Structure 1
């Protein structure tokens, strides 16, 4: 991971947070120090986001 990558975060244990990164050709899952993350709230989905096609 490099600065600017967007991660999906899971559980936090002490100072560590489980993080998942999906790249173009591979994915990475591991623990990242919480202090090294810039956490942004997820956007609230609109009803149209749940409509199937």
Structure 2
């Protein structure tokens, strides 16, 4: 569940990684990155300029 929630925070909010790290309780950005697996379609939308959570 933590894994899923972390990934969705990245995809559906405009929180920055440090804010998400504080929410999830990860001790480092390296550990945070292990939990965040982003969907390819969402990454493509972000590259196209779409805001997260929109």
TM-score, with length taken from structure 1: 0.28
Q: Which structure has more RCO (C-alpha within 8 Å, separation ≥ 6)?
A: 2
Structure with the larger strand share: 1
| TM-score w.r.t. length of structure 2 | 0.28
- Structure having the higher helix fraction is 2
